[in-house]
């Protein structure tokens, strides 16, 4: 019975938790604590954990968030099905530009980017559908979830997820790439237990269906 109190499902954004309907909050908290202390590979530092919003009251959800934070995880509440299905105001559709005349190159649409001019510390999170440029470090316990690519002008030791909404062409670059976990689109890779800093920046991208990390030479322009 205890194994069924908390169920874990992996998603493209992180781990989604569900709880047995008859389980009390105390039973759920104790079961989660046992799983966290056991060192299960589900709960890697920097991983995003989603808990349902409508199961426990606010103070109980806050207590679960503090519990996950003690073990270096990021905990957020997940919207209910009713909230996710709530109709939204329709956006004005973009009118496509006419094709470029023959012999002339097509104009490329600029890619949006979020620029962070500071170091991200443990517990801090950046979540955007755009690309991300960090002028600083990404410390353990911090995480970046981006719809586009990620460029870190410093050392990355947190959790980074590029192409979070399905873009398999996205990539991750850092001066020193030493994360707790790397995700690109729906693929996940974990850094070796021992990693040494290199003199060159590194780039993580998807090649032949897997995440590959290789050294690169920095260009003048960011992503």
Write down the pLDDT at residue 48: 75
Are the beta carbons of 159 and 181 closer than 8 angstroms?
yes
Counted domains in the chain = 2
Q: Are both 29 and 118 inside the same structural domain?
A: no
Is there a domain that residue 76 lies in? yes
User: pLDDT by residue (tens digit) across 129-158?
Assistant: 999 999 999 998 899 999 999 999 999 989
Q: Residue 65 corresponds to which tokens in the numbers above?
A: 């968030």
Q: Are both 121 and 61 inside the same structural domain?
A: no
Is there a domain that residue 42 lies in? yes
Q: Are both 138 and 210 inside the same structural domain?
A: yes
Alpha carbon of residue 33 to chain centroid:
23
3-class secondary structure, 119 = coil
Is there a domain that residue 107 lies in? no
Write down the pLDDT at residue 163: 93
Residues contacting 86, CB < 8 A, separation 6+: none
pLDDT higher than 80, residue 117? yes
Provide the CATH number for the domain around residue 59.
Answer: 3.30.750
Is there a domain that residue 105 lies in? no
Domain span at residue 155 reads 113-216
Write down the pLDDT at residue 95: 38
Cα–Cα distance measured from residue 129 to residue 110, given in angstroms and rounded to the nearest whole number: 14
Q: Are both 132 and 70 inside the same structural domain?
A: no
For residues 111-131, average pLDDT: 88
Q: Are both 62 and 120 inside the same structural domain?
A: no
Q: Are both 53 and 126 inside the same structural domain?
A: no
Q: Are both 55 and 14 inside the same structural domain?
A: yes
Cα–Cα distance measured from residue 199 to residue 20, given in angstroms and rounded to the nearest whole number: 50
Is there a domain that residue 87 lies in? no
Write down the pLDDT at residue 173: 93
Cα–Cα distance measured from residue 27 to residue 137, given in angstroms and rounded to the nearest whole number: 38
- How many Cα atoms within 13 Å fall on the side-chain side of residue 15? 19
Write down the pLDDT at residue 195: 54
| Higher-scoring residue by pLDDT: 109, 74 | 74
Write down the pLDDT at residue 111: 59
Is there a domain that residue 152 lies in? yes
For residues 23-45, average pLDDT: 79
Provide the CATH number for the domain around residue 148.
Answer: 2.160.20.70
pLDDT higher than 60, residue 80? no
Q: Are both 138 and 68 inside the same structural domain?
A: no
Q: Which residues pair with 214 in a beta bridge?
A: 203
Q: Are both 205 and 130 inside the same structural domain?
A: yes
Is there a domain that residue 142 lies in? yes
Q: Residue 91 corresponds to which tokens in the numbers above?
A: 């956006």
Alpha carbon of residue 199 to chain centroid:
26
Query: Mean of the per-residue pLDDT values for the chain?
Result: 77
Nearest residue to 182 via CA among 169, 194, 192, 167: 192
- Banded model confidence at residue 41, pLDDT cuts 50, 70, 90: low
Question: Would the pTM count as exceeding 0.75?
Answer: no
Strands of the sheet containing 113-116, edge to edge, are 113-116, 131-134, 150-156, 172-177, 201-207, 210-216
């Amino acid at each position: 019975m205890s194994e069924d109190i908390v169920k874990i499902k992996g998603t493209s954004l992180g781990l989604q938790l569900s709880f047995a309907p008859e389980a009390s909050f105390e039973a759920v908290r104790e079961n989660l604590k046992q799983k966290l202390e056991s060192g299960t590979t589900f709960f890697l530092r920097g991983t995003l954990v989603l808990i349902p919003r409508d199961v426990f009251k606010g103070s109980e959800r806050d207590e679960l968030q503090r519990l996950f934070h003690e073990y270096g995880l990021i905990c957020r509440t997940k919207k209910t099905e009713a909230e996710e299905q709530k109709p939204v105001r329709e956006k004005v559709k973009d009118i496509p530009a006419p094709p470029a005349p023959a012999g002339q190159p097509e104009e490329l649409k600029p890619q949006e980017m979020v620029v962070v001019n500071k170091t991200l510390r443990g517990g801090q999170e950046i979540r955007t559908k755009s690309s991300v440029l960090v002028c600083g470090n990404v410390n353990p316990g911090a995480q970046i979830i981006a719809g586009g690519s990620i460029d870190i002008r410093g050392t990355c030791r947190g959790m980074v997820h590029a192409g979070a909404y399905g873009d398999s062409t996205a990539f991750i670059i850092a001066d020193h790439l030493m994360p707790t976990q790397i995700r690109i689109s729906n693929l996940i890779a974990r850094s070796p237990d021992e990693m040494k800093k290199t003199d060159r920046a590194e780039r993580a991208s998807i090649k032949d269906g897997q995440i590959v990390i290789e050294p690169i030479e920095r260009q003048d322009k960011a992503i």
